[in-house]
Amino acid sequence: PEVFSPDLKNNANFKAFAGINFDASKFVPSPAYNVNRFMLDRIGNEKARATTIVEYKPNSKFPLHEHIGGEEFLVLKGTFKDQYGEFPKGYYVRNPIGSKHEPWVDDDGCTIMVKLLQMADTDEGVDPLHINYEGSKDKEKTDWGHVLEMYHNKVTGERVSMWWVDPGTEFPTNEYCSDGEELFIVDGSLFADGHEYVEWGWIRFPPGKEVITQRKGLKSGPAGAQVYRKTGHLTDSAMSMEKIQISIETEEVLDKNSNGRLESATEDDNSKKTQS
């Protein structure tokens, strides 16, 4: 069933299944000028651990800011621009902890699916990752379609990939499903738990071996499905390694220092203007 709340805590139980179809009429204006957001999951106030569809209006500009907990996103529509280049629809961008940029969009505007404050500090450096998944020649052919591996963190177990599943085909299971799984439908549709999730729909399966049974009916729709897939990030171990920790009960924001201790998080005020 679809779950949506207009407040700033949404699908915050990571031990439960969650699924929602995108609905443009439920865009919520952000405190940032010219930005709307559709919340998928969220813990926190304006500094939040969040997964969100964000719409930037044409000719929007944002100040230089640092990513204290990292950010990753898919460009779904229009073109995202910063000092590193221009990234149109079909790009996956990963900005590590400590990276900085000064983004803008031009006349075509831009819509992204973005995940904020969900990274662990595993000494990966601050250089961003940009992958043109639509134009990539590294797609691997499979019995059910194609897959492109885009990111793997050996410390946390996080894996990010793009899947192209043939029409009416069961979405395959593998050894990573029991570590939790997040699926975002870029194109086409998926059937799960008796519901159809269409373009820009989102599904989250919690970690646990029993989820394999729950997931067995997962299959693509009559037009197939293109799906962003993320696994390994929802285990207790992986979530405890995230640099920024936000309490579900109090929404207090804490930052892990170099010794692994939690301290009150600090952040450049400019970054709040682009928070999603």
Q: Give the CA count within 13 Å in the CB-facing half-sphere of 162.
A: 20
The two tokens of residue 195 are 């519901």
Q: What is the mean pLDDT of residues 74-103?
A: 97
E-assigned strand segments in 118-192? 129-132, 140-141, 145-152, 159-165, 181-192
Q: What is the pLDDT of residue 35?
A: 92
Q: What is the mean pLDDT of residues 176-201?
A: 95
Q: Would you say 54 and 33 are in contact if contact means Cβ atoms under 8 Å apart?
A: no
Q: What is the mean pLDDT of residues 205-219?
A: 86
Q: What is the pLDDT of residue 1?
A: 40
**What predicted TM-score, i.e. pTM, was given to this entire model?**
0.92
- Residues 116-148: tens digit of each pLDDT: 999 999 999 999 999 999 999 999 999 999 999
Q: What is the pLDDT of residue 260?
A: 58
pLDDT at 243 exceeding the cut of 50? yes
Q: Who wins on pLDDT, 73 or 211?
A: 73
Q: What is the pLDDT of residue 18?
A: 94
Q: What is the pLDDT of residue 149?
A: 98
Residues 6 or more apart in contact with residue 270 via CB below 8 angstroms: 62, 63, 64, 65
**Minimal CA–CA distance to 157: which of 176, 137, 132, 131?**
176
**Which of the four pLDDT bands, split at 50, 70 and 90, describes residue 8?**
low
Q: What is the pLDDT of residue 233?
A: 96
The two tokens of residue 79 are 């073109």
What CA–CA distance (Å, rounded) separates 218 from 11?
20
Mean pLDDT, the chain, rounded, equals 89
pLDDT at 197 exceeding the cut of 80? yes
**Residue 209 burial (CB count, 10 A):** 8
Counting residues of the chain whose pLDDT is more than 70, the rounded percentage is 90
